[in-house]
Structure 1
């Protein structure tokens, strides 16, 4: 329950702790019902429904849905009853609820569910199992694969090659992570209206929103760091990529395919080559570790971040590398850590919405700044001047050691990791991170 309340606060309130009337809808997931004659059995979603009703009852009391008989719930488990009492008691001391309680009605109006109703109990539990047994239910990448293979129905040799490569890349369902946390976010986390991905949004972006040319074998190209002078390429199942260079041609490795993250995607061959390019680029950066400067920062400073910040760090590196390759990539990694670290030391808790606030609540979306920059220095300057809650991010590094919380806590661990990483300093004298900006400049001089 506490995590949900924290997520709502991050999602619906600005950095100045004001409720945002224009906050996007908040997706609560799917709720599965079995229609049993005149009543509905909740197969999946009981905890979410109960949590919302408890919050409503606690805040609205006699005007709550339960007291107005708008909901009539029966629980068949004594354990459920015990948990309800525990959670209701928790609400009495929840600081998170205090922050949002005056706006709870507005928040409820912006909650979105997917409602599924079956007329067969067997069907309900079969559906539930398929949703919770990974590999049984078709995910977005399975639909994408099938959709774009249909565009190649007359090209069996190309189909065979793409299927083999796709399945190899998708070991342990890695493509699910690539499309959701890297490709979809890099294309859609722009401007101020930012939301999290779901299956429908992924399918819309990489299926419905792709396009088809009259000659779909020849792919239109867009200018980027891998392409300064070609307008199209042709894919050959035996020869691979041939880029038309009026009249020269050259063969490329997947990580160098001349695509850009936010470019339009062409159906069929264009989609598969796009996916292969960014699979290979991600592998190059984080699995093969061919850019050691990034790995050095990732394995030292970023190691104490939680999964939300680690994913954000990797996503930002992919966007930057796709634009500038290895040009000043170490400097970018250091300033990116400077940005994320300022929030790490300032907040006791980092939740899923925290990285989103970095993009949404600054004057410019950080990812847009990377995409639109002509020189890396424009990005570094943006980070150094970035304000959060009205204060420059350098301000948050001014904490004393006693302000970092528990000795073995995550904030103290991050402080210690910094002291080790920037070990050219007099560590027996400097134990705070007050001079971190200067440390970065000194490290770069080396």
Structure 2
């Protein structure tokens, strides 16, 4: 691993590239063992858009003002910049948001100055944010001039000769501003695995996906909570540990190879030996192995599409009952942790069976997953969900089934139990049971909930008496 590390001021960093027609030179900045780094700052195609907003700009100015008032003689530290030297270019692996913001300030200091030559912004989000931030900074130009001195803004430069080494640093960084989430990091991992000719195409495909947070959360549950290779997921408020899980599972844990999708195929053999093939879905499966690059990008795009189509924004005229049911499920209160498990179950089912018997599957899955709402005395805690999945491996029931009927046999065999606590109060549990009775048309008085709710719901969804 060849890595050069040095400190420099923003003035040094921009010393030549802030003049029209000049290229960036780091001759006076970085020298390690006689090796000199020279290049032009470049934003790679696969970087996320420039997205700093008013909050980040205001926070930066206030931090610098507060620092300068207390320690006027000391520079303000802006963190590290991770750069990959590629011939005559220095690709910005981490630091684009800060460098772009400083470049905007420099343009305001000298209105005739163009942006840094290598800092090209083609994404509409970047272009709109640059326009907005220029106006925001111009409205506060006196404040910017008073507190921004490029000679007093200091960076640590980390320059690598290997792109992989640069991303190893990047994946462990926690920088200021808009903190990177897991999907941002795995984006960089997979786009750099795509050959350069096709990088712009897949970078645009990634950006078109929008926020992947909810989809990735469901996929992690489907992949982590399994009997063969069980793994723990951190609580939702431990963001760094969740990010590490995303990077491990959907980036570092991927292999090398082609874009491959796995799926169940039925082969029907005729009397003459003829064979007919049929598959319920033509995409990827939740738990399948993944390869870096195009395979993982298309896998995520596929499930992002499924998640939007069947959960986030369903518009399914041919599955009207299913759509109405999931819209009702999403409106239930006090069931947030159960809803996340339910999303994972639906994605796993659809990835195997497509729309085959999807409406009854949604209701059967509901009976199992949401049983925690009535089997608990009070609230449903987050740590009770993985414990429930260990005791009743609903995700494995789906994954192990070859047909919807086989899956339904597992689900229908589940025994729902009602805890008697808090049934006489107008709490979350009671309101949930009232809503279920109304949705399924269960003719029960409140006094019958403990003795009759489970059997009535079983008969309504399963179609037989307990």
TM-score (structure 2 length as normaliser): 0.51
Q: 3-state DSSP class of the match of 2:370? A: helix
Residues 1:380 and 2:420 aligned together: no
**For the residues of structure 1 that align with 2:324 and 2:462, how far apart are their CA atoms?**
14
What is the CA deviation profile of residues 304-327 of structure 1, one whole-angstrom value per residue up to 9, with x for unaligned ones? 342101111111111111111222
Alignment partner, residue 361 of structure 1 = 391
Which of structures 1 and 2 has the bigger CA Rg? 2
**1:182-221 alignment to 2 at 5 Å?**
182-191=218-227, 193-197=230-234, 198-213=242-257, 216=258, 219-221=259-261
Q: 3-state DSSP class of the match of 1:196? A: coil
| Aligned counterpart for 1:175 among listed residues 208, 212, 226 | 212
Residues 1:275 and 2:300 aligned together: yes
**For the residues of structure 2 that align with 1:385 and 1:440, how far apart are their CA atoms?**
10
Alignment partner, residue 434 of structure 2 = 416
Alignment partner, residue 311 of structure 1 = 340
Q: 1:139 to 1:304 in 2, by over 3 A?
A: closer
Q: 1:153 to 1:194 in 2, by over 3 A?
A: closer
Give, in angstroms, the shift of residue 431 of structure 1. Answer: 5.9
**For the residues of structure 1 that align with 2:327 and 2:409, how far apart are their CA atoms?**
25
Q: 1:143 to 1:435 in 2, by over 3 A?
A: closer
Instruction: Check the 8 A contact 2:338/2:369 in 1, yes or no.
Output: yes
Alignment partner, residue 184 of structure 2 = 142
Instruction: Check the 8 A contact 2:281/2:351 in 1, yes or no.
Output: no
Give, in angstroms, the shift of residue 278 of structure 1. Answer: 0.5
Alignment partner, residue 266 of structure 1 = 291
What is the CA deviation profile of residues 15-34 of structure 1, one whole-angstrom value per residue up to 9, with x for unaligned ones? xxxxxxxxxxxxxxxxxxxx
**For the residues of structure 2 that align with 1:336 and 1:220, how far apart are their CA atoms?**
29
Q: 1:194 to 1:319 in 2, by over 3 A?
A: same
Of Structure 1 and Structure 2, the greater helix share is in 1
Q: 1:167 to 1:305 in 2, by over 3 A?
A: same
**1:50-69 alignment to 2 at 5 Å?**
none
Instruction: Check the 8 A contact 1:140/1:202 in 2, yes or no.
Output: yes
Instruction: Check the 8 A contact 2:371/2:416 in 1, yes or no.
Output: yes
| Aligned counterpart for 1:406 among listed residues 425, 436, 440 | 425
Unaligned runs of at least 5 residues, structure 2: 1-153, 156-172, 235-241, 269-279
Q: 3-state DSSP class of the match of 2:452? A: coil
Give, in angstroms, the shift of residue 428 of structure 1. Answer: 9.4
| Aligned counterpart for 1:298 among listed residues 314, 326, 339 | 326
Q: 3-state DSSP class of the match of 1:395? A: coil
Instruction: Check the 8 A contact 2:221/2:341 in 1, yes or no.
Output: no
**For the residues of structure 1 that align with 2:416 and 2:190, how far apart are their CA atoms?**
47
What is the CA deviation profile of residues 320-345 of structure 1, one whole-angstrom value per residue up to 9, with x for unaligned ones? 11111222222222222222333212
| Aligned counterpart for 1:351 among listed residues 381, 385, 396 | 381
Q: 3-state DSSP class of the match of 1:327? A: coil
Unaligned runs of at least 5 residues, structure 1: 1-121, 124-129, 230-254, 387-392
**For the residues of structure 2 that align with 1:163 and 1:379, how far apart are their CA atoms?**
38
TM-score (structure 1 length as normaliser): 0.53
**1:79-94 alignment to 2 at 5 Å?**
none
Q: 1:341 to 1:200 in 2, by over 3 A?
A: closer
| Aligned counterpart for 1:340 among listed residues 339, 344, 369 | 369
Give, in angstroms, the shift of residue 411 of structure 1. Answer: 0.6
**For the residues of structure 2 that align with 1:422 and 1:279, how far apart are their CA atoms?**
30
**For the residues of structure 1 that align with 2:260 and 2:407, how far apart are their CA atoms?**
29
Instruction: Check the 8 A contact 1:294/1:333 in 2, yes or no.
Output: yes
Q: 1:190 to 1:208 in 2, by over 3 A?
A: same
Q: 3-state DSSP class of the match of 2:290? A: coil
**For the residues of structure 2 that align with 1:327 and 1:256, how far apart are their CA atoms?**
9
Aligned residue-pair number: 269
Q: 3-state DSSP class of the match of 2:418? A: helix
- Worse-matched range after superposition: 299-308 or 435-444: 435-444
Residues 1:394 and 2:394 aligned together: no
Q: 1:150 to 1:439 in 2, by over 3 A?
A: closer
What is the CA deviation profile of residues 332-390 of structure 1, one whole-angstrom value per residue up to 9, with x for unaligned ones? 2222222233321222011111221121124xx2211101112223333323433xxxx
**For the residues of structure 2 that align with 1:175 and 1:336, how far apart are their CA atoms?**
24
Q: 3-state DSSP class of the match of 1:137? A: coil
RMSD, matched Cα: 3.3
